[in-house]
């Protein structure tokens, strides 16, 4: 998995940008930064992918006991960009047979 994350200032506001390639697996959990706003998620699937989100405590995520649910778009096969409707503790990408990319902007 290739990952890149950075904080940047845009017009005086602090933003967080994350990008990752996941190869036919479940990616690592991305803990959302506490910037008090929803995340925009863009997914570029190989043959198919879905995003899973959780409201579980960060300690549960680290322990591997978090409860994950698929985002409202379900399994996607075409590039998709969505603002998550609620703030979440973390998100992760699940890629099917081929590598998939995703980007998160908070």
Residue pair 43/100 in contact (Cβ under 8 Å)? The answer is yes
pLDDT-wise least confident of 15-29, 62-76, 90-104: 15-29
Mean pLDDT of the chain: 87
| Structure confidence at residue 34 (pLDDT) | 72
| Structure confidence at residue 64 (pLDDT) | 94
Residue 16, Ramachandran bin (φ over 0: left; ψ between -120 and 50: alpha; else beta): beta
Q: Looking at beta carbons, which pairs linking 77-80 to residues 24 or more positions away fall under 8 Å?
A: 77/45, 77/47, 77/48, 78/45, 79/42, 79/43, 79/44, 79/45, 80/42, 80/43, 80/45
Domains of the chain: 2-105 (2.60.120.10)
On whether the pTM is more than 0.95, the answer is no
């Amino acid at each position: 998995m290739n990952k890149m994350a950075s904080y940047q200032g845009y017009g005086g506001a602090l933003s967080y940008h994350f990008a990752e390639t996941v190869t036919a697996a479940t990616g690592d959990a991305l803990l959302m930064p506490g910037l008090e706003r929803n995340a925009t998620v863009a997914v570029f699937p190989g043959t198919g992918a879905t995003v899973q989100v959780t409201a579980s405590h960060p300690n549960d995520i680290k322990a591997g006991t978090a409860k994950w649910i698929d985002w409202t778009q379900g399994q996607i096969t075409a590039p998709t960009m969505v603002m998550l409707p609620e703030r979440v503790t973390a998100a992760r990408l699940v890629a099917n047979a081929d590598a998939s990319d995703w980007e998160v902007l908070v």
